[in-house]
Amino acid sequence: MSKSGSDIVANVSIESSQREALAQRVLAMSPADRTEVLVSTADAALTRFTHEVSNQNLAAANVEISVRAIVDRRTGVAQTNRLDDDSLRATVERAVEMAKLSPPDPLTPDLPNAPTGAAVDGAYDAATAGADAGVRAELCAPVFAAAESAGCWSAGFASTSRSGLTVANTSGGLASFDGTDAALNIKMTATDSTGFAESYAASVGTIDPSAVARAAVDKARGTAAPSGVEPGDWTVVLEPAAFGELLIYLASHFSAQSFDDGSSFFSDGLDRAYFSERFTLFDDFAHPLAPGMPFDFEAQPTQRLPLVENGVVRSIVTDSYYAKKLGRENTGHALPAPNAYGPQARNLVVAGGPKTTQQLIAETKRGLLVSRFWYIRTVDRKRAIVTGMTRDGTFAIEDGRVTHGVRNLRFNVGIVDLLGACEFSSEQRRTGSYHYSLVSPAAKFERFKFTSTTDF
C-alpha cells in the first residue's frame, strides 16, 4: 500500500463497519445507472526457512477499492488503494468513462440484492489475526529440532494472514466478511531422499508443528535409497495433497461459463453419471476444516451445492450474469469483476469413504503411495488430461504394506477417467497451495498411467 500522507488509512485491517461506511461513501459519488463497490483488506505475512534458518520474513498489507459502474448496459471497472475523497471520486469517474466506451451487453444483469449469508463459525480467529513473526518462529522451531535430530535439513514456510471484504451496490446489496488463515509447509531432505508434510487451518493454534515435522521426517527416512520401478499402469494411493493437486484441475469445469462455452467435460448435459458412484463432490463454504465466505463478490449468498452426487454431475455454479443468460438460479459464485473465468466453485469438498487410508493400502497387493505432485500441466483441457511428476515421498506398496521408497515418476492421466474407478479414505484433510484450498480424503485409483521414471 503506497504511503502518501493523511489520505491513507494507517491500519489496513479496518473493521467491517469502517469498510461499509467507506463503500457507501463511494456509492454516493457515482452517477452511473448501477454501481458496485468492493472494499477489500489483506494483511499477510510469511516466514520462509531453509537449512534450519528463518532466512526471509515477508509481509504485505493493502486496502483496495474496486468500483464497477454500469451505464446503458455497458460496464467499466476501476480500482485504487488511495482513500481520500479526490482519489475515490477519480476512480468512480474512470469506471464510468470506461463503461461509456465499452460495448453494450443486453445480458448485463441488475446487481443482486439478497439477504446477507449467515456468518461461518471458525472462519475468523483473533490470535491468527494478531500473529507476528514470533508466532511463526514458534511454528518453525519444532521443525528445525526434528530436522537436526533426524540428520535432515528442512525447507518451507509458515504463514499467517487476515483478510476482510465488504461488497455494496446501489440495488441495496451489502455484505461483509472477515477471515484468517495459517499454514505450515515442510520439505525434509536427507542424503538421497525427501519427505513432505503440510497443515492448513483458519486458526494458527490448531497447527501442530511437531506432528507435521515428524510426518515429513518419516517420509524422508522411509524413502532412503529409492529404487526404480517400471512405468506403466499402477494402482496408486494418493494422499490428500496429491489428490488435491489433481482435483483442482476439475474446479473450473463446474463454472456456468465453461458449461456454456463447451469447454467443460460435461457440457453435453447435467444429471448424467460421469464418475464412479463412490465419488461425491460438494462446494461447501461452511465445512469446519475450511470455513469460508458465505457470499460472493456481488454480495449474493453462496449456496452449498452438491456438484457431483454418487458419480452424477448435479450442479453448475452461477453468478448474476450467467443466471440471467442461462435462465438458472444465481448460486452466488461470482468472482470480482472484471474476470475472464466466470463464476467459480471456491470451496471444494470431497466426501470420504468407509475405509481408512491404512485399509486402502492393506487391500493393495502391488502399488504406489504418493505424497504429492509437482509441475502439473494441462494436456487436454476439456478431457481434463494432465501431466506431472511425483515428489517428496513416493513409496512402494507390496502385499498390503508400505515397504520402501521408489524414484519419482512422470504421469499422464485423465482425471475424469481416473474417477470412474476410485475409492476414498474416511479421513478428510484440508490441503492447498498459494492459489487454492480444498478438503479431500486420500484417494485410490487402479490404473494410474506413469510414462517414465527419473534418476531421483
Which pLDDT does position 9 carry in this prediction? 44
Average pLDDT (366-393) is: 98
411-431 pLDDT, tens per residue?
999 999 999 999 999 999 999
- Which of 242, 67, 223, 66 minimizes the C-alpha distance to 150? 223
Which residue type occupies 198? E
Residues 40, 64: Cα–Cα separation, whole Å: 5
339 Cβ neighbours under 8 A, 6+ residues apart: none
Q: Output the CA torsion 298→301→307→309 (10° steps).
A: -170
Cis, bond preceding 294 (omega within 30 deg of 0): no
4, 24, 88, 99, 228 from 38: Cα distances, Å: 22, 10, 12, 17, 53
Are 165 and 144 spatial neighbours (Cβ–Cβ below 8 Å)?
no
Average pLDDT (433-453) is: 95
Average pLDDT (262-279) is: 98
- Which of 435, 450, 249, 438 minimizes the C-alpha distance to 367? 450
Are 8 and 2 spatial neighbours (Cβ–Cβ below 8 Å)?
yes
pTM: 0.94
Cell numbers of 195, please?
Answer: 519427505
71-110 pLDDT, tens per residue?
999 999 999 999 999 999 999 999 999 999 999 999 998 9
Are 71 and 103 spatial neighbours (Cβ–Cβ below 8 Å)?
no
39-58 pLDDT, tens per residue?
999 999 999 999 999 999 99
133-191 pLDDT, tens per residue?
999 999 999 999 999 999 999 999 999 999 999 999 999 999 999 999 999 999 999 99
Place 7 in a pLDDT band, splitting at 50, 70 and 90.
very low
Beta bridge partners of 388: 411
Least confident of 116-125, 257-266, 325-334, 353-362: 116-125
Polymer length of the chain: 456
Rg from Cα positions in the chain: 24
Cell numbers of 221, please?
Answer: 527416512
364, 374, 381 from 218: Cα distances, Å: 21, 20, 36
Are 47 and 55 spatial neighbours (Cβ–Cβ below 8 Å)?
no
Assess whether pLDDT exceeds 80 at residue 6. Answer: no
Which pLDDT does position 350 carry in this prediction? 98
For CA atoms 398, 404, 409, 414, the dihedral sign is positive
203 Cβ neighbours under 8 A, 6+ residues apart: 122, 125, 127, 128, 180, 182
Place 298 in a pLDDT band, splitting at 50, 70 and 90.
very high
Which pLDDT does position 12 carry in this prediction? 56
150 Cβ neighbours under 8 A, 6+ residues apart: 188, 190, 217, 220, 221
Q: Output the CA torsion 158→159→160→163 (10° steps).
A: -170
Which pLDDT does position 10 carry in this prediction? 42
Mean pLDDT, the chain, integer: 95
Which pLDDT does position 157 carry in this prediction? 98
Beta bridge partners of 430: 439
